[in-house]
Amino acid sequence: ASRPDLVRSVCLLNATPVWGLGLPGWDGRLPAPAVPKQVGRFLFDKIRDFDTIQLYLGQAYSRTEAFDKDLINKIRGCTEGKGGHAAFASIVWSSPSTKLREEGSFSTLVSQLECDVLLLFGDDDEWCKPAYAKHMMNILKERPPPPKQHPAQRYLALSNTGHCPNHEAPQSVAHAVARWVSSTNGSRDQLALIDEGTSSLSFHEPWGDIVMREVEGEELEMLSVSDKVMIKMLA
């Protein structure tokens, strides 16, 4: 948003509208004061517990076959270095971002994007539900056109996929992103992300089949009451 001249397009994979809690008493700049440091240490040790990691993965993934003990051990291994407790405390106490604090909401930042945007969301994501992707698409469609050309916005939905599409549906994501980034600027509105003549595309992953389809038109307006409440809380 600050330097649109440097960005031709972005791909947002299950983009998370909430990050950082902005708790009072500290701005998140290290080193951490005593109380946040101790609270961060306690919470960090709880979250990086093997059982907790498995619980989170079970919520983030659509299929438990898509993650195993090896992935759990790798995630745990990333937490073994020095400074993890303080860094976690900093995340919890920090505002989501300086830009977000200035503008007031994630939705406002989305509306300010001047480049082409591709959304890739898992249909089974319990954390960033597809309803929020629809909300983002509707915001992007209403962007005022920049001086040169109106940017494109596209939304691809992945079946049997949760919050981590790049790991749970790697072939689908690779296909879409490769076509998106290889396209020349100004042609992504008509870009065939899904082969012409078909409404969806299937990919076979080791743990099952993934179907990729484009969400557009009236489907973008199909939101339940609970979806609308969730969007209002996050927006």
Q: Does residue 98 register a pLDDT over 60?
A: no
Q: Does residue 23 register a pLDDT over 90?
A: no
Query: pLDDT value at position 85?
Result: 87
Q: State pTM to two decimals.
A: 0.86
Distance (Å, whole) CA 41 – CA 56 = 19
> Residue 222, Cβ neighbours under 10 Å: how many?
12
| Tens-place pLDDT, residues 171-192 | 999 999 999 998 875 678 888 8
Banded model confidence at residue 235, pLDDT cuts 50, 70, 90: low
Bigger pLDDT: 161 vs 143:
161
Q: Does residue 197 register a pLDDT over 80?
A: no
Query: pLDDT value at position 212?
Result: 96
Per cent of the chain over pLDDT 70 is 92
Structure token pair of residue 162: 């949760």
Distance (Å, whole) CA 189 – CA 177 = 14
Query: pLDDT value at position 1?
Result: 56
Question: Distance between terminal CA atoms of the chain?
Answer: 18
Element (H, E) at 172: helix 170-182
Query: pLDDT value at position 131?
Result: 92
